[in-house]
Structure 1
């Protein structure tokens, strides 16, 4: 946690998890966003709420469009300090380092200019119509849906949006490349349906729980790298030939794939994401540390290659420790 580590404040440096060491970078980390946002863009990831609706994890945001560097700030709401609701526990990245302290609502200065937001990705337990474990109608209901699931309405016949692309990229990384004759794209297709169904069946789900339409649990498994990969998946292009992009996605075909999470890149871990990372490092010219082709097991060659890439970005210290975070991932696949 940044508070315990007392991460030093900086608008130019990046912490070991890849997030920028300023107030917006801290919130980007806490909300698990795919990159480093700023006070002028954080609002698009949230829904405006009132003071009475505030709950831990919400944010209080002030953006000064006339001069963003004068007064703009954002804090994480940690709960009210007492029944009067005049002070709250604020988690924030400020000079000299990350801190947690009782703060007058909404802030010490420019209090009337702060707006409260709740992350848009939060979902109630289960989503009707998703038909899978953890959702309404599926076994295992009662667990909260993953925060970043965009909603069942973004998938299925006629859907055309960035979430379909992201789904396809994650499925390819989990062995579903053979379903795609070309790289995953924004328009829903039989390839997306088939790859999703194959992934669901790989988890042992059947019937409506493996209907090929993603719900919160399928999304959670893909984003978090949980569960089993699709059996018989290809490691090259989408039709099994060598080449193509990482795990069958052509570089740049649909933008950078979603960062799968830091847990995949640790000593002893083995996953398709490690192979995907290594291949992209080789493509970008940082492959000299590999005695043989990158593989699924995280090793020192991977760490040294990532460190070389990070140093090429001008990062030093903890920001160039060889452990990929969201910003390293985004730049590598950009």
Structure 2
């Protein structure tokens, strides 16, 4: 899904110098901040100048009192309001990472008394987020009351799941904003938004089955498996691309068609899987325990043995193929070289992955380390074992 670079009617605040995203294959997300000022139009003007002067601007500045909305940079480029998580540039994580600074204080949630229905610019902002495919979900849960204990900064969640996050929930950051904002208002439940982002009657509910999430905003190989099964069963008419690992409205609409074919009606055919229909589609229920594993020691042994051997030499092909498929998904390895052999092409592709994470020199030699392999696994659904 592709949304607007600039929200219609938003004030152009400059400097329009956002960078490209490092991991456009990862799900889209939004991050909410508070600029720690009062609300009001005058404060909006002052904070716009401050954020530019300090070079810590997000893409978007919003004032809930006046409904003023401004943009410092295009939504599909990076902001500068997050700290890096080690070598990972959090500002550049995901297909988009739309950051919003709100004129307000974390200790006094700005959503108190806030009515989204009466704020047309706020609804434009939410519509733009939805148009980019950002789910109406909070993967790390609702932001904690300020200052919080920060036990919700989970790196795997941040890398693997699209949706809305608070600044306080981002790995590598130590801020407590935006505080305990009302997540039924951000984004507003059941509210139609301009710019192609309306739920339009399509369910945004989720359900957990066997430890895996299904429904809008769910992410993982199990989502791809459902989509492929729907297509195979003749229920893929709503896809324009995919199916893929992010559950979109198209998945919901296709699944609803499938549910109706089974005789379900009304709320029982809302496009969100239940156990019975999922078993009938897949034959069995996937489980979180089905997550593939990759042995780091096996992978290193394969690299040492396969590189000097004849082309196509196989040492630990299952481990290698899982990693190669992830490198293919990252755009670093041609699919024709995903053959289970850790040869020179795979070494080069893995070295490119290491450089993408910020490694250089001998630390980007194409031979896996625990951290770089875990980062790849977090992004592509496999676990790393010794």
- Specify the structure having the higher radius of gyration (Cα): 2
Q: How high is the TM-score relative to the length of structure 1?
A: 0.31
Higher RCO (C-alpha under 8 Å, 6+ residues apart) = 1
Q: How high is the TM-score relative to the length of structure 2?
A: 0.28
